[in-house]
Chains A and B, each alone.
Chain A
Amino acid sequence: MAHTYVVTAHKPTAVNACCTGNFTGLDDLNLIVARNTRMEVYLVAPEGLRPLKEVDIRGRIAVMQLFRPPNEKKDLLFILTARYSAMILEWEQHGSDMEIITRAHGNVQDRIGRPSETGIIGIIDPECRVIGLRLYDGLFKVIPLERDNRELKAFNIRLEELNVIDVKFLYGCPVPTIILVHQDQNGRHAKTYEISLKDKEFLKGPWKQDNVEAEGSIIITAAVTMMVMTAAVTNEVVTDQRLTMAVVTAAVTMMTNGQRAQNESGKQVNVLAHTGVGGEVEVESGSVARGNAASYLSDRKKVTLGTQPTVLRTFRSLSTVNVFACSDRPTVIYSSNHKLVFSNVNLKEVSYMCPLNSDGYPDSLALANDSTLTIGTIDEIQKLHIRTVRLGESPRRIAYQECAQAFAVIANRIDVPDGNVLVPSHPSASTQTTIAECLTYLDNGVVYVGSRLGDSQLVRLNVEANARRSYVDVMETFTNLGPILDMCVVDLERQGQGQVRSMSMSVGVSQERVIRNGIGIHEHASIDLPGIKGVWPLRGASQSAVDTMLVLSFVGQTRVLMLSGEEVEETELPGFESCQQTFYCGNVCDNQIIQITAASVRLVSCETKALVSEWRHPATKNISVATCNSCQVMCAVGSELYYLEIYPNELKQISMTTMEHEVACLDATPLGSEGERAQRCAVGLWTDISARVLKLPGFDPLHVEMLGGEIIPRSILMTTFEGINYLLVALGDGSVFYFNLAADTGLGKLQQVAEKDLKGAPYSLVEFNGKLLASINSTVRLYEWTAERELKLECSDFNNIIALYLKTKGDFILVGDMMRSITLLAYKPMEGSLEEISRDFNPNWMTAIEILDDDTFLGAENSSNLFTCQKDSAATTDEERQHLQEVGLYHLGEMVNCFRHGSLVMQHPGENSTPTQGCVLFGTVNGAIGLVTQFPPEMFNFLLEMQTKLAKVIKSVGKIDHEFWRAFSTEKKTEAPTGFIDGDLIESYLDLSRDKMEEVTTGLQVSEGGGCVAMTTPRDSLG
């Protein structure tokens, strides 16, 4: 028996359907987006798309259509899942209480049938008399739409045409009439049929047209009074007395985006050609131009955060950098999907802050305002954070080498000759291509482009070409992780917290965050201390990770607080100047502490706490502004700017310069790619109100940005969010400017050391006991790396159709075959051979495999199911031993492309509340990331019971039974789920109302360890 727990950490992001209409109200224009098993309802508002509700559907959404039957005040939504559950949904809103109710539902699956190669097609009669479905070859399914019918029942009509490309209903017909494009040996033809609801059969339609455009794949029907389509997009226009029909060629014309048609009244109507197979809508991106050498600072933007002078400070939360803007309206600035997000904090006013990590107050913030010092912790800002590295190529595989901290990526690149020069086939940084899965027109020339393979976009179609000679402007981009082709888990910061690096088609890495309304700070301690001008944490030794002291600066004095446990008491450091206001204080390199006061820069030894070096202005003028990182100090005296470097027991002045005006603020934070030593500094000046970027050590000006206005910059900060460098400048009136800062990047080089010719495609390469294991076509081969620096074949295994995947543990090798499930091999070092130990004989078409433990193996197959197999070590007969037992079956609803051992959460050494065994992450085609782990039997049984209860309490939209949804289902068989816990269902317990929670927990057998542990576990595992 397997005891496996599966949960989604990052929901799918690929868009597979979208539609617009008046779903939430007669006057509301809504966009509804389907992301595999999730449906999102947006309101189209002047400022953009406003998310209203997100609904999980127990099924993969295959068809989603809005329609309005006569007598209805607003649109209803029809959804069909990939496993043929049909539902009609209605939006109901009472004040802020938004609910989606199921008007009707039913399953329209046939017991047998050949699912069409061209996929599921679902269409609704414009007069709302019937819903038409093309699910199986040779059959057309009709669901009559009758009012007040709560059960959706369908009947089949035989369809003579075998290879149907597309079907649509025609407008303005007295009986429901379909038009279809089908293919036979002679080409593609358009044909119409009337549906007789009484006899449940087709009658001859009004017309037909043989031999339409050979590539015609999409039918667009329109009422003739509404639109006349011009020939630009249409390769074929067939005009009937009552209607106009156009057959649009997808793949070829796709490159000519944004086709326009003129309607009779002369009003602009935009029609965007849609893609059938890999069509592309090429649009130019208005997004961030990174690495643009022409301008050092780019994309200047301004936000107003408060009304008082703002101070910017960085802190880390879950290993991401965030900026805290201290003002009368404190705000946390972070980045999500390459956009800066400004999130308010639930505190009235913060004038200064610093991060603090002491024994008593781990991962906290010290926040000071006029009268008090508060120590608190911050809510999780992001659940997972995503950083994207554009490769300009299609990545296929990724690996990480810890010692070099380097990633290796295998990518496909097709270079096309352009004259004599070879250029990458990928568009340049300023052009962005989204391959559309679905398109829907919103309003005012705005179109939503939903994509399965790239980011989804909101684009505007223009009548006139823009400067880039494009008719399309991108207004907004929605990140999509999918399809995740490969991923690796790395611990970059060595905190025991894994980061996932996943590969998706055009995107490098991924993540998501849950933005709640604002960010909460939980107060843990508060001290009344008026007049604080600054706070800094101090560590006892530079290497220590824990802060032990807090330095507070006041006008004319500096005080040091000692933190011992949760106790705070005042202390003194001998080397510290306590009769001066401190501008900066912190641990620096070589186990030293720096204190910068108005009078001098003081270097103090951590061990002796005594002053070891001091720097004063040559003319002993007072320092006005200062900044410092772990090895560099910058201080400004009026308009003079000094650059010092920190050495053991020594402060060395490296350079100085005189600025045009007095320095108002300074920053020398090293950016991501620069290591510990900053190569640039940022300066804000009085008088001309400018922000400048200077190169160190010579203070060579790199960029001058005039901010304009009369408010002087009060705080300046360079930081990196999601791989993008930003410069933030806060002004005295509470507003913040932010810019993109160009980065200098360098790349390592790989050198080839050996080469081996293979007969076939190597699908998988794995390091195995110091040797190289490869799956090449149908064979698994082990190569030895010889002293002569060449690969020598040691042994092979031949018994597969196509060996796609390999995983190893000790001497065991798990092989995933294209169509024959998984096989366990053992390497016999003595004999130098591979021996088949055991095999799963079920006909699973594999997409990913993993070894959970010595006896349990996990597989993902191409109908979006997971299964676990167990090796029967105690088997008495050969026959039992040679057959892997299928012990777990589960429908994930996502096609998994890769499994990797690892976890997204920090492993706290002392924490034993999560009794999980092993943790495997998975990445899917739709961009979802999830986790598979194993539980001890008691816990598993407890959760299983809870799952059964939850399934009864939680009613899904569309009334799809939980057991049906999670049943292992392929074209050949359907089996009840077993051996798996649906973590998504378990965790939905946390969102239940109190009385519902009670309903679930009553009668639940709490085993040893208590329900409390069980409750916290899922959340912990999610991270």
Chain B
Amino acid sequence: MQLSKQRDVEKVHTTPINSLDLDPVEMRYLISGASNGTIAIHDLHNVTGQPQYTCPLLCTVDRCSQHAHKYSVETVQWYPADSGMFVSSSFDKTLKVWDTNTLVPVETVACRERVYCHRLSKIATKHCLIAVASSLSQVNLVDLKSGSYSHILKGHKGAVYVVDWSPQNEYVLASGSSDNKALMWDVRMAKNCIFTLDQHNGDATRCGPHAVQTAHNGAVNGLRFTADGLYLVSFGTDCRVRLWRTDNGQNMLVNYGAINNVHEKCLSIDVSSSLNPEIVFVPHDSNIDMLCLHTGTKLQRLVGHYNDCNTLVYHPFHQELYSGGNDRNIIAWLPKTASSDDYQEHLKETKLKKGTSRETKKKGANVNLMQDTWSSDED
């Protein structure tokens, strides 16, 4: 994969980008949320007929808008069934459910604390619960039908940074917290979690009593189920990525190496679907590491952001990756294909022709061919 020379995403954000999501039906609309409360939607369909194009901005909820979040938008997610609705949560202690067409919230849920992350289950048919992770040491479940809290999952002892629903079982939820723990829940049983992910697989004697039942030796701020729901990937501020079995919570003890993580908030990681071998994408400062899911081998490091990368989303249809970070850019990462080279060459050739013809017209005019790069080829 490489930074795409041919595809740009129209620049709109003026502050760090915290969250990205692709609409689950067409995988066409990319939604992004930024630190100043702005939410933007881009169209990824290329209808220009040219490989070189910029994904246009369709609409934004500007921070000046009366409906916009007051503070940083930490998470945006499309409603799983269609792109007519999306949900955003913010440090302004609210969760908003938006109508995409009017860009007006149809529901605003007040939370008692800053919201780090929220998730809707993509497969749920029997419930419409939004799991909300906030600086309260609990996971709140908001019922979309009533717009209010349905129940609370208590178990963590620190701020909950991240939640993710299982794609296999619509009632299973994983949560990660600043208390170094990751818990697996069945939301029908609010009393207790199903199990706690233990990095030592029960063999705590090696690390002393304090390490009992922790997933990481730091806050857990990234969680992601694999597409088949059989595994869970976690990321912690101990700079480790771990792989867990979802049926019994066993740590698979895959060594992914050290990956810098100092954020006190939710970081998104993603796992490729329908690729072999499966790949985990993890932000590593301003880069993105591509790691083999089952062996931990580092496959590639994507270098492109100027500042820390906060969020990324994998496009399973086209095998592309979109990422956003503190440098306020959304970057498209595409597999390297012959087409890009051919196209570059073609552009160079046509440019050369144009250049020479221009040169002959304006005699004596100093046309620097080297300066005339592809990016200006929009005339």
Contacts and interface: CB of A to CB of B under 8 A. Distances in A.
Given A801-B337, A801-B339, A114 B227 contact: yes
B49 interface: yes
Interface in A840-896: 841, 843, 878-879, 882-883
B126 to A, nearest CB: 13
Given A778-B338, A798-B346, A879-B47, A162 B228 contact: no
A207 to B, nearest CB: 24
Contact of B28 (A137, A777, A820, A841): A841
A602 interface: no
Contacts of A819: 318
B191 interface: no
B51 A112 contact: no
Contacts of B26: 841
Nearest to B347: A798
A117 to B, nearest CB: 6
A778 B228 contact: no
B277 to A, nearest CB: 9
Interface residues of A, number: 37
B50 A799 contact: yes
B51 A798 contact: yes
A835 B50 CA distance: 9
B299 interface: no
Interface centre among A759, A798, A839 (most CB of B within 10 A): A798
Interface in A954-972: 971-972
B27 to A, nearest CB: 8
A779 B47 contact: no
A779 B339 contact: yes
Nearest to B230: A138
A102 B368 CA distance: 78
B196 to A, nearest CB: 19
Interface in A874-932: 878-879, 882-883
Contact of A778 (B49, B274, B339): B339
B317 A112 contact: no
Contacts of A65: none
B45 A841 contact: yes
Interface in B3-60: 26-28, 45-51
A50 interface: no
B80 interface: no
B46 A799 contact: yes
B227 A112 contact: yes
B343 A798 contact: yes
A820 B28 CA distance: 13
A878 B45 CA distance: 13
B373 interface: no
Given A778-B338, A778-B342, A972-B317, A158 B47 contact: no
A138 B123 contact: no
A136 interface: yes
B93 interface: no
Contacts of B227: 112, 114
Nearest to B26: A841
A993 interface: no
Interface string A795-808: 01111111000000
A645 interface: no
A113 interface: yes
B342 A136 contact: no
A545 B123 CA distance: 68
A111 B342 contact: no
A748 interface: no
A760 interface: yes
B228 A112 contact: yes
Nearest to A881: B47
Nearest to B342: A779
Interface residues of B, number: 34
B101 interface: no
B168 interface: yes
A241 interface: no
A798 B342 contact: yes
Nearest to A111: B123
A185 B49 CA distance: 44
Contacts of A843: 27, 317-318
Given A796-B346, A836-B49, A158 B245 contact: yes
A433 to B, nearest CB: 31
Interface in A135-184: 136-139, 158, 162
A158 B230 contact: yes
Contacts of B276: 117
B229 interface: yes
Contacts of A972: 274, 316-317
Interface in B320-379: 337-339, 342-343, 346
A777 to B, nearest CB: 4
A802 B338 CA distance: 9
B255 interface: no
Contacts of B28: 841
B82 interface: no
B192 interface: no
Contact of B274 (A799, A802, A971): A971
A567 B341 CA distance: 76
Contacts of A779: 339, 342-343
Given A798-B50, A799-B49, A972-B317, A137 B338 contact: no
Contacts of B274: 114, 971-972
Contacts of A185: 295
B318 A777 contact: no
B70 interface: no
Interface string B281-304: 000000000000011000000000
A971 B46 CA distance: 24
A797 B26 CA distance: 25
A608 B72 CA distance: 104
B139 to A, nearest CB: 23
B81 to A, nearest CB: 14
Given A112-B168, A798-B50, A820-B318, A137 B228 contact: yes
A138 B339 CA distance: 36
B167 interface: yes
Nearest to B339: A778
A111 B121 CA distance: 14
B247 interface: yes
A878 B51 contact: no
A856 to B, nearest CB: 21
Nearest to A761: B338
Contacts of B46: 799
Contacts of B273: 114
A801 B316 CA distance: 15
Contacts of A879: 47
Interface centre among A114, A819, A883 (most CB of B within 10 A): A114
A878 B43 CA distance: 14
B123 A759 contact: no
A284 B293 CA distance: 48
Contact of B228 (A113, A760, A835, A836): A113
Contact of A835 (B49, B245, B338, B342): B49
A714 B51 CA distance: 75
Interface string A100-124: 0000000000011110010000000
A136 B339 contact: no
A778 B337 contact: yes
A760 B346 contact: no
A112 B229 contact: yes
B230 A139 contact: yes
15 contacts: A114-B227, A136-B228, A137-B230, A138-B228, A158-B230, A777-B339, A777-B342, A778-B337, A778-B339, A779-B343, A799-B51, A801-B337, A801-B339, A836-B47, A836-B48
Give 5 closest A-B pairs by Cβ, nearest first: A836-B49, A778-B339, A843-B317, A882-B47, A777-B338
Interface of A: 111-114, 117, 136-139, 158, 162, 185, 759-760, 777-779, 796-802, 819-820, 835-836, 839, 841, 843, 878-879, 882-883, 971-972
Given A162-B294, A843-B318, 5 more contacts: A111-B168, A114-B228, A137-B228, A777-B342, A836-B48
